[in-house]
Structure 1
C-alpha cells in the first residue's frame, strides 16, 4: 500500500495522474479508464510521498526506502517523462533519471515546489532546499528531532512546516539560508507535544493545522476576498471507441446479485452514453491468469446481472462484455458468508515453492493472499502458511468474508514455528479487531488501532504446537460492545470461559473475517488450519 496522493495532468489530450505505489514504482495512469500508461522503479519499498510535476517533461519524486542500486535509504530524483501518450504501456529506462540527491529520506512527508526550488522536511528533522534544475542541495536547516507524516506548505513567501514532535515552524527561504520567523511548540493538555501528522491548509488569510489531538487555526480575524477558481471547459465527446464496465470490480455474498452498467467511451476516455442493447456477456478466464477459475454465480448473458445462489462457493473470476467488436472486463468474487469452513484437504499441491516444497495458492477469493500465503503439508495435514520469500510481506492481513457481516464466530487452529528465543505472531481478524497469539511475548492480544484498543492477557505459547483460537465481537444496543476470544491447546477440551474479554465504548458494528501473520524479519513461519465462520448463537 502507499500513502502517496495523486497529481493530475494532461498527456497527449488524455487526463492522467501520477502517483507512487506500494511496490516502489512511480506510475502514470489514465484517470478516466484506469489503464496504466508508464511506470518507473524508484525504490525497493513503497513510495509514500506525493510527486511533483516540473514543467512539461519533468517529474520529481521522493522516497525513504532502500534504493534499487544501493543499500542506503532515501533519495530525491528528477525524471524526464514522456510528453506524448504512448500506444502501449511503457517501463521507463533508468536513463530517464536527470539527477539524484541522496540527502533526503522521506517516509510519507511530501516535497513542495516553488518556482525552481524544491523544499522537503527530512526524516531526521531538517528542512532542505534543492535547486530543481541541478538537484544540488542549497541548504539544510535542523528544525526538529525527526519527521514522519506531516508535509510543509508554501504561502505568502513563507514555508509552514509542522513537525512530528509537536512544533510548527515558519521559515522565510532564500538561496543561501533559512530565516526562522516563528517556532511554536504546540502542547496538549498534559503538557506533552501534540503529534503533527498532516500538511497545513492555507485559506482566506488563515493557516489550519490538523494534529492528532485537535485542529488549530492561526492568522487574522479579518476575512479576505476569496477568488473563485476558473471553470475548465469540458470538450465535446467523440464517437464511441471503447467500453467501460461499472463497477470495475464486484464482491457479493451467497444469495446476492450484482448489476452492471456499460459505458461507451471516446478515444480520450470521456463517457459518451450508456449502452443497453446489443451486449453479449460471458464468463472469462484471461489467457495470462495463473489460476484458471470462474466465479460460482449465474450470469445473464444479455443484461450481465450475476447472481450467487444461497449455497454458492467462495470463488473469483472475470466477466467480459462485447459490443460491435469492442470488449471490456470486470472481475469479482463471491466471498465467504456464515457457514464457511476450510481445511485445505481438497487442494492439490501441484506447484513447487522456491524452497522446493510442494505447494499451491490459497483460495482465489482471499483478497491479496496469493503472493503472501501457500497451502502446503504440515503434520500430515494440508494447512495454509505465510510465505517468507519476501521480507516486505513479513506482516500480512488478508480478508475472505463479507465486509457487512457482524455478530459471528471465527475460529481456526493456529501455530508458529520457532524456538524459545524467537517465534512469530498468528491470529484472526473479526469485525475489524485483530486477535492474535503473540509468540515472542507469550500473550493473547486484542487490538484495533493500538492507540484506541490494545489489551492482552498472559498465555504461554510453545513453538511448533497447535492451538485452537475462537473469536467473537458482541455489540450492545447503545453502541458499546465487547471483543472476546479463547485459546487452548488443540485436542484438549474447549474452555467454558473466554480467555480474554475486552470492553469497547464504541464497537465496530461490522467487518470482514480475515487472517493475520507477522514473522519478524521473515524468519519463522505461521500456520492455520480448520478455519470456520458461523453466525453467533
Structure 2
C-alpha cells in the first residue's frame, strides 16, 4: 500500500498580510525588567550585533554515568545524592498582548504534525551565526543558552532553561519571549530538588503549548510538573511527580515532554511508586489539563532498562486514536490516549528507546543505537505496520536495517523518502515503501542529538558539535547541500530547529538564535492537519474508567468519582449511569463519593466501579497530618503508602527486633530516595535510628529528606552533609563526622522556613546516649524549597542500611 507523504489533507491559506501585522504588533512589545527581590530574570535584551558571549558550560559534559541509570552522554557517577530545590514559581511582569493564532504556530517541539515538517515558505537559504548586516540573524539571546527545543504560540516563544546559572541561586525556568524581538515578557522560576541531574542538563524536556487554552505545560528535570498561564506566567496547577508518584530523575538527565490530547495532558517517566507500582516501569500519567486530576495511570513492562526521552506521537492508526512512543523497556508501543489501554508493541532493543516515532499514514518508523533483541549488532531503523494488535514484532515489521545507529535524532519523511540522521551525524536516505537505501550517506558532523526540520523545500539540520547545513532533497543524489557552516565559540546543539512565521529558531549552548531573511515574505500554502480518527457510532462499552485514578487524602477527607465508558476504539461513550461503587480499605462509599475513615493512617484503599460485566479501579492513599511515628515490629514490609520504598527495602529482624533494611541486591536501586506522604508539608523535624553494615571494607551513605533537602551521613567520606543539588552543590554544607559500622546512631534533621529562607539543622549521636544540646551542622538556602514530603535517602551500593524508630513531628 502506498504511503502518503503527510498523513493529512492540506488546505490552501495565505498569511503574508498576517505576517506584516505580526511584525507591527511585535515592535510594540517591550521586555519586562527584573524583579529585584527574585533576581531571576536575565537582562531581557536580545543581541543584534556580531558580538557573542558563549562560555556556556553545556558544551562540556561528564564522561561516565552512575550505576543507577546510564546517561545519554556517559558521565561519571556522582559521589552523592542529587539536589533539592524549591517549588515556588515566580512569574515576571507581563507587557504586551498576544496576537491571535493564525495556524502556523509551533506548539509542540516536533511541529504541528509531530513529524518535523512545517508548511511555511519564504525561509532562509543561508545565514551567518556571527551576526551583523546580511547575516539573516534577527536577534540572539546569549543569556538563554541551553538544550531544550522552544515552542511558539500567539506571537510568543516559550522554552525551558537554566536560571541564574553557576550560582548559589541556580534553578530552572520557563521563559516567555516576544517571538519577533526576543525581549523577555515573563519568567517562571522554580527549584530543582532531590534529583541527580547536573546543572548542564537542566532544561532537558521541552515545553508544550495548548492552543485551546493558551496554557503552557512544563516538566522540570527533577519532576516538577506545571500548567502555566501562557499570558501571565502564573502557575495554574503543579505537582512534584517524583514525590507524589515516584518519577525517577537520574544523572543522565533524560526527561520526557508532555503531550496534549483532548482534555488531557499526558507525561511519562520511569516510575517507582507504591503498592502494585512499587517496581520500576515506564509509566504514563494522564492529567485533566485544566485541573491536574489524574485521569489514568498505566505503563509498559516492569523493570525497564533505561530512562528515555522518546516523545509520544499523537495520531490515528487505522482510524483509531493512538499514542505511539519508544519505551524504556526497548519496545515501540501504541496505546489508546484516552484510556491508557495497550494497542500493540514492537520489541526493538534490549535498552530504552529515545527516538520519537515518525508516523506516516498507518506506518511507524523508529530507530535506536543500542543492542538489538537478537544477535550482537548495535543499532537499527525499522518500519512497522501500525494497524496491528498485541505483539507485532514478527507479524508487522515491513523492513528493518541493523547497524544503523539512529538513537537520538528523530527522522523526517519527504515524499516517498525518509531521512535518518544517525548518532554520528551521518544521513541515511531510504525509500519508504521498499526500504532501499538511496544514494550515499552524507556527513553533517561527528555527533547528532537534535532532529532535522523540513520546511520551504529544504532540510535544516544542526549537529551536536556545531556543524549546521541546509539541504535540498534531490531525486538523483538524495540530498544537495545549499549552505553550511559552524556555530561560533565551540557552541553545541542538543535541541532541534523550529520555524514559525518565517523565523527559524535555534537553541544552542551559546544562546537562542532567531534567523529570518528580511528580503523574503513567509507564507503558508498548505496547512498541516492532524490525522483524524474514524467516526464511530459504536456504543458498546469495552472499557470502564474511574476518575481520579490515583488520589492522596487525609483521614476524613472525601473524594468524588466519575465513572466513564469507552468503546473498543477508546472513544468516549459517556458516563456509566447506574454504576455501582465499592471500596476495599479504610472508608465507605456514598453514591459516587468515597469517604475515608477518620482514624485511617498510612493505609491504602481501592475504589472499584462496576457496570454490567465491566469494572475499573482507582487507588487511594490515606496519610494523616503530623506527627508520624514508625517502628516495624508489627510490619512485614514498609508502609504501603511510601513511594519508592517497598521494592528497594525489606523488613527483617535486626538486633532482636524488626527494622527496615535497604538491600544491596537491586543494582539500579541501591542508591535511591523514597517519600512518605504529602508534598505540602513544611517546618518539621524528621528523626530515625540508623545503622550501616560494612562490606568489602566500605560503608553506605544513610540519609533523611525533608522539605526538599537531604541530610546525608556519608560512610566513605566520614562526614555529615546538608544539600539541595549534589552535582551543583549550590548551598551544600558539610562537617566531618566519624562513624562506624554495626553501631546504631540517631539522626535528626530539622527543616524550616524563616524570614523567606530555608534554615536547616542537623545532629547525630549514638543511640541510647544523651542528645547533644547543640546542632552539629546548619545550612541556609536563600532561594528555599518551601514545602515537600518527608522521606529517606540511601546509597547501599556497598553495604546494607538499617532504619528504625522513624518520627516526623511539627517544629515547636
Q: Please, what TM-score do these two structures have when normalized by structure 2?
A: 0.54
Deviation at 1:12?
4.0
Deviation at 1:34?
0.8
In 2: Cα distance, 1:473 partner to 1:536 partner: 8
Residue in structure 2 matched with residue 355 of structure 1 by the alignment: none
In the alignment, structure 1 residue 249 sits paired with structure 2 residue 553: no
In 1: Cα distance, 2:356 partner to 2:701 partner: 33
Report the 3-state secondary structure (helix = DSSP H, G, I; strand = E; otherwise coil) of the residue aligned with 1:392. coil
Deviation at 1:161?
2.1
Contact 1:59 1:81 in 2 (8 A): no
Deviation at 1:194?
5.8
Residue in structure 1 matched with residue 589 of structure 2 by the alignment: 300
In the alignment, structure 1 residue 83 sits paired with structure 2 residue 387: yes
How many residue pairs get matched?
Answer: 491
Which of these residues, 164, 181, 200, is aligned with residue 497 of structure 2?
200
In the alignment, structure 1 residue 28 sits paired with structure 2 residue 330: no
* CA pair 117-266 structure 1, distance change in 2 beyond 3 A: closer
* CA pair 126-233 structure 1, distance change in 2 beyond 3 A: closer
In 1: Cα distance, 2:380 partner to 2:776 partner: 50
Structure 2 runs not aligned, ≥5 long: 1-269, 271-307
What does 1:411-430 align with in structure 2 at a 5 Å threshold? 411-419=687-695, 422-430=698-706
In 1: Cα distance, 2:729 partner to 2:451 partner: 25
CA deviation profile, 1:253-304 (whole Å, cap 9, x unmatched):
33432111122334432223334x5231112xxxxxxxxxx443x2224223
Which of these residues, 314, 317, 329, is aligned with residue 8 of structure 1?
314
In 1: Cα distance, 2:537 partner to 2:729 partner: 50
Residue in structure 1 matched with residue 809 of structure 2 by the alignment: 534
CA RMSD, 1 decimal: 3.5
In the alignment, structure 1 residue 139 sits paired with structure 2 residue 441: yes
Which of these residues, 169, 187, 192, is aligned with residue 468 of structure 2?
169
In 2: Cα distance, 1:449 partner to 1:109 partner: 30
In 1: Cα distance, 2:510 partner to 2:701 partner: 31
* CA pair 58-514 structure 1, distance change in 2 beyond 3 A: same
What does 1:81-230 align with in structure 2 at a 5 Å threshold? 81-84=385-388, 86=389, 90-93=390-393, 98-104=399-405, 106=407, 109-114=409-414, 115-122=416-423, 125-129=424-428, 131=430, 133-134=434-435, 138-139=440-441, 141=443, 143-144=445-446, 150-156=450-456, 157-163=458-464, 167=466, 169-172=468-471, 179=481, 181-185=483-487, 196-211=493-508, 215-221=512-518, 224-226=522-524, 229-230=528-529
Report the 3-state secondary structure (helix = DSSP H, G, I; strand = E; otherwise coil) of the residue aligned with 2:681. coil
Deviation at 1:314?
0.9
Q: Tell me: higher relative CO, structure 1 or 2? Use CA pairs within 8 A at least 6 residues apart.
A: 2
CA deviation profile, 1:157-187 (whole Å, cap 9, x unmatched):
2232252x6x352353775788583334355
In the alignment, structure 1 residue 475 sits paired with structure 2 residue 772: no
In 2: Cα distance, 1:527 partner to 1:232 partner: 55
In 1: Cα distance, 2:766 partner to 2:540 partner: 63
Stretch deviating more after TM superposition (412-421 or 28-37): 412-421
In 2: Cα distance, 1:388 partner to 1:231 partner: 49
Structure 1 runs not aligned, ≥5 long: 188-192, 284-293, 349-360
Residue in structure 2 matched with residue 282 of structure 1 by the alignment: 582
* CA pair 460-280 structure 1, distance change in 2 beyond 3 A: same
Report the 3-state secondary structure (helix = DSSP H, G, I; strand = E; otherwise coil) of the residue aligned with 2:651. strand
Report the 3-state secondary structure (helix = DSSP H, G, I; strand = E; otherwise coil) of the residue aligned with 1:22. coil
Contact 1:7 1:18 in 2 (8 A): yes
In the alignment, structure 1 residue 511 sits paired with structure 2 residue 788: yes
In 1: Cα distance, 2:775 partner to 2:509 partner: 34
In 2: Cα distance, 1:16 partner to 1:335 partner: 36
In 2: Cα distance, 1:519 partner to 1:435 partner: 16
> Structure 1 segments of 4 or more deviating over 6 A?
231-234
Q: Please, what TM-score do these two structures have when normalized by structure 1?
A: 0.79
In the alignment, structure 1 residue 49 sits paired with structure 2 residue 337: no
In 2: Cα distance, 1:325 partner to 1:383 partner: 44
Report the 3-state secondary structure (helix = DSSP H, G, I; strand = E; otherwise coil) of the residue aligned with 1:363. coil
* CA pair 218-531 structure 1, distance change in 2 beyond 3 A: farther
Deviation at 1:320?
0.9
Deviation at 1:399?
2.0
Stretch deviating more after TM superposition (458-467 or 333-342): 458-467
Which of these residues, 581, 587, 606, is aligned with residue 318 of structure 1?
606
In 1: Cα distance, 2:427 partner to 2:693 partner: 45
